[in-house]
Every structure is written in C-alpha cells, then in structure tokens.
Amino acid sequence: MSSFYQYFKENMESMGLPAPQTLFSSVTSAVATATTLLSQIDKFGRHVTIGELLRAGTKLEQLAIVGACSAAFYVGAVIGSIAVATGRVLGNGATMTDVLFTAQRHDFQVDWLRQCLFTYPGIYRSDVLERNQYWFHGRVA
C-alpha cells in the first residue's frame, strides 16, 4: 500500500467516508476519480447523490455504501484528502490554501468547492472534533 493511499484512506475514514483502494490508490487514480465525480456533478447538478450517479450508470460501484451521500460533499472530501495525503507525503500537512492549490493544479475549479471546504474544515484539518460525523452531514434527506 502506498503512503499516499494510506494517508488518503486515513483522512477519509476519519470522516466516516469510504476510500476504496481501486479508486484512490495513487494521486493519479484519486485525481481521475475526482474528475469523474466532478463531471457527473456538472451533468446532473450539485445536489445529485452518489446513489443517483450509480443508477445513471457511472463506474463508481465501490461507492455504493455512501449512496445517500451528496456527490458534491463526497468529492469535496476527496479533494481535501488528496491535498492532505500529498501534504503528508511531502511532510508538511495541509491547509485550506493547500487544498485550493491542489484543486487548481488538477483543474478542479468549481464554484461551490470553497464553500464546502469552509463549511467542513475537517476535510483537511484533523483537529476538528466533529469530523467523524461528516458522513452524516453529507447525506441528502
């Protein structure tokens, strides 16, 4: 298991979110998965759930466990976790600036990302106490 994936998975699981190795084993695969999610959000709208994406025929079957989760919330957590894992591999952690830089670097420029990161700072900061409950916040009622 790569150190990137280990840190990525640790960050996602601390928020109660799955991080299948088949989708996120490396920076390249994590960026590809995030790009797929973002394209589907662009196509179906910001309030689409992972479950709705699965029914639409996307190739994200490993995420079925979070079917009721907002795809926008989940991809925000993915982008934050990419930044955290990259920062930890390089040895300096991650800040909101690092996450936004990572988003820009990989062309994840979406209007709502900054608000998602502001609302849920535990996506990239491990000192946020309620981050283990984020899976609940990402659910669509």
Digit-by-digit pLDDT tens for the chain (141 residues) are 679 999 999 999 988 899 999 999 999 999 999 999 999 999 999 889 999 988 887 778 888 888 888 898 899 999 989 988 988 877 666 677 777 777 788 887 777 877 877 787 777 777 777 776 666 555 654
Please provide residue 124's backbone torsions phi and psi, each rounded to the nearest 5 degrees. -125, -5
Count of structural domains within the chain: 1
Global pTM value? 0.72
Closest CA relative to residue 82, chosen from 7, 14, 1: 7
| DSSP string computed for 61-116 | GGGGGGTTBBHHHHHHHHHHHHHHHHHHHHTS---HHHHHHHHHHTT---TTHHHH
Can you give the residue range of the structural domain that contains 32? 3-16+25-137
